[in-house]
Structure 1
Amino acid sequence: MSADKPAPDDKPASAATSPAKKTPLYDVHRELGANLVDFAGYLMPLRYASETAEHRAVRTGAGLFDLSHMGEIFLNGPGAGAALDYALVGKLSPMAVGKARYTMICAPDGGVLDDLIVYRLADETFMVVANASNAVTVREALVERAAGFETVVDDRSDAYALIALQGPDAEGILARFTAAPLPDVKYYAITADEVAGVDALLARTGYTGEDGFELFVSAEDAVRLWQELAAVEGVVPAGLSARDTLRLEAGMPLYGNELTSETNPYEAGLGRVVKLDKPGDFVGKATLAAQAQTPPGRRLVGLVAHGRRAPRKGYEVVTSDGTPCGVVTSGAPSPTLGRPIALAYVDCALSTEPGAETGLAVDVRGRRERVDVVDLPFYKRS
């Protein structure tokens, strides 16, 4: 799912003049000298020093992220699973306790309102984690769609902080602070335990393409937990810029870029999350079923640039004769690949199979930069 951040070319408001909310870790970020920006209504660390160094720390060791701007919305009651089956495109009611699932909430016309991770915490309790910029939209839609089901929608976003420890060393580091059997917590699973003496929901999920954990704790406990983890040698605080290049290398969509209310799951190559075969109706089912049978006019592809200038969001993709045929949704220099990479929607009428000679280019400020279409993800951990 998306942990949304400003695109590299965005110009966020100054932290000094922003009316944005502060996460429980705001003072910690200031003490660390973070570049704080107004994002999705919160003052968030964009970077602490070098976003490239932060990126590489996650790829080779461990990075520590503040994701407390994300939304945590609970559904409680015997009808919670059925309500989510109706409200979302996935099949959530059969999910076992302690498991998580990536899914989406769509409008009746099939447009994506947000991509989500849903955790089942107990037989009658689910936690829906929404992107910060969409948390209110998701909450309001869930309240409306859950009406008539035996469940209560409870937005606890302000009560929670979310800290992510990501990277190949994450399990070993976290094992120092918890008795939880971490090897038994598989990918997309969650358990409740103490971490550094703090009650936490410990999920093996993330948005970086690496192994790692996301820790949901009370807002009051956030500073204590962060300081305990940050004190471990090799743990590097990482900001939203590094998180964006990490998720881009991993080919993970970002809401507002690859996913929008004007985009349906099939265009984004995520039709697999739409469970048309689940019993009963759900919001958007009829439209999504029709879209599943109709070849999309565009598709999401990965691009690797030949030159050093990075394609950015909104730049045109053009054919060899300069005809526009698509648009870049995300792009940046890849610290891991050493070349600029991008995600883009392109016309399905084009032959754009990975490895084929396409002649495609991106118009980078008036200059055509040749690109190759490649398989996604750009990076996959071994």
Structure 2
Amino acid sequence: MTDALQRSPLHDEHVAHGATLVPFAGWEMPVRYSGDLAEHTAVRTAAGLFDLSHMGEISVRGADAAAFLEHALVGRLSAVKLWGAKYTMMCTPEGGVIDDLIVYRRDLDHFVIVANASNHATVIGELRERRNSFDVGIEDLSVETALIAVQGPAAERIVARMCHRGDDDIRAMRYYTFANIVLDGGIHAVAARTGYTGEDGLELFVSADDAAAVWRLALAQGEGDGLIPCGLAARDSLRLEAGMPLYGQELTRDTTPYEAGLGRIVVLGTAERPRGDFVGRDALVRAKADGPRKVLVGLAGEGRRAARAGYPVVDEDGAEVGRVTSGAPSPTLGHPIAMAYVPPALAEPGTTVAIDVRGRREPMTVVALPFYTRAS
């Protein structure tokens, strides 16, 4: 490890639990603890505990906060209710994706944006560049904030037990809402019903100074439910099964939201519900009208050889026609899965394509995303 890597406020906890630490987006983060399969399975069947403190938290506050975010991002942020959240994107003027984001509305004039670690500085820079004459303040809260996720079927029960005197408000929270809570020991936190695993769960925003205490509290309260600490490897296999995109793989500046199958989050406005201009609007109008140049699809294999990110999708003559963005054996489904960009003509579910896996063609079948959906 180099001295340039940032460390989470939970670094000592990771070391104490025997985590394997790796460089990730400028941070030294745990890739695994007990093992990838055990951690993945724990989240699907019980609960997993994740350190997400490498993510960036950015406050946007002021009289023009909603209008500003509608200019800077592709969604209709003014429609987000208080204590609600919205998945959205920041795009380039050409329509490419700079980052995918979750925006939380704390008040009429106050929003908090969570950005990916690799794009944290870029998102802040773009927000400041796009501020223009809007009456808003932009503040980076990342250093003072830790983010801890409890994910899995037992997550709600565990977090409720973590709360001071128990907290029925946790059980009443709907998906993509959040609330202020008080944890045992008088620790104040914000609990959001969001996640990146395809399971139910909560993400806890706490002071960096309280992070270690919250981590230990979660492990203590979750022990009876099978909660274990989980690393980046499990998080990646879980989000792949859930068909969730990862920036730098499924999402890039060369990809539009429409190509990624996420055109629904772009609000262009209608005659009945007009919307003002926003960065990338003209390009996205054209992209929607022209149709995608490539389409993100799910792929399912029957053999044991998994397609990995970067592997080419080839035609009958061996010519490259697409590229895998993410791929791995699926612990839950028991066969290889992948996401890939292919031409629209190959995007219909049931289509068979070939992946060049280290010089050998492996057949895979186009399937609808997500690969896995939890039982309701």
Give the TM-score taking structure 1 as reference length: 0.93
* Seq. identity, %: 57
Distance in 1, matches of 2:297 and 2:79, equals: 33
Distance in 1, matches of 2:71 and 2:330, equals: 39
Residue aligning to 1:347: 343
1:171 to 139, 147, 156: 156
2:259 to 251, 260, 267: 267
Q: Say yes or no: does 1:39 pair with 2:24.
A: yes
**SS of the residue aligned with 2:143?**
helix
- Following superposition, the deviation at residue 18 of structure 1 comes to 5.0
Which residue type is aligned with residue 263 of structure 2? G
Preserved CA contact (<8 Å) 2:160 2:171: no
What are the Cα deviations for residues 188-243 of structure 1, in whole angstroms up to 9, with x where unaligned? 00111112331111100000000000000000000000001012311110000000
**SS of the residue aligned with 1:143?**
helix
Q: Say yes or no: does 1:376 pair with 2:362.
A: no
Which residue type is aligned with residue 283 of structure 2? T
Preserved CA contact (<8 Å) 2:196 2:235: yes
**SS of the residue aligned with 1:175?**
helix
1:181 to 169, 177, 196: 169
Counting helix residues as a fraction of each chain, which structure ranks higher? 2
Distance in 1, matches of 2:350 and 2:183, equals: 46
**SS of the residue aligned with 1:247?**
helix
Distance in 2, matches of 1:94 and 1:301, equals: 30
Preserved CA contact (<8 Å) 1:18 1:38: no
Distance in 2, matches of 1:147 and 1:224, equals: 41
Which residue type is aligned with residue 66 of structure 2? G
Distance in 1, matches of 2:127 and 2:301, equals: 41
Instruction: Note the residue ranges of structure 1 that are not aligned, 5 or more in a row.
Output: 1-14
Paired residues in the alignment total 364
What are the Cα deviations for residues 280-334 of structure 1, in whole angstroms up to 9, with x where unaligned? 1100111111111011121000001121111011101112342322100000111
Residue aligning to 1:334: 330
1:295 to 266, 291, 295: 291
Residue aligning to 2:190: 201
Residue aligning to 1:256: 248
Distance in 2, matches of 1:124 and 1:176, equals: 33
Question: Segments of 4+ in structure 1 off by > 6 A?
Answer: none
Distance in 1, matches of 2:183 and 2:113, equals: 22
Q: Say yes or no: does 1:116 pair with 2:101.
A: yes
Which residue type is aligned with residue 199 of structure 1? H
**SS of the residue aligned with 2:240?**
helix
Residue aligning to 1:214: 203
Preserved CA contact (<8 Å) 1:84 1:146: no
Distance in 1, matches of 2:151 and 2:202, equals: 6
Preserved CA contact (<8 Å) 1:180 1:193: no
Which residue type is aligned with residue 249 of structure 2? N
Distance in 2, matches of 1:259 and 1:219, equals: 29
- Following superposition, the deviation at residue 355 of structure 1 comes to 2.4
Give the TM-score taking structure 2 as reference length: 0.95
Which residue type is aligned with residue 273 of structure 1? I
Q: Say yes or no: does 1:191 pair with 2:179.
A: yes
RMSD: 1.1
Preserved CA contact (<8 Å) 1:297 1:349: no
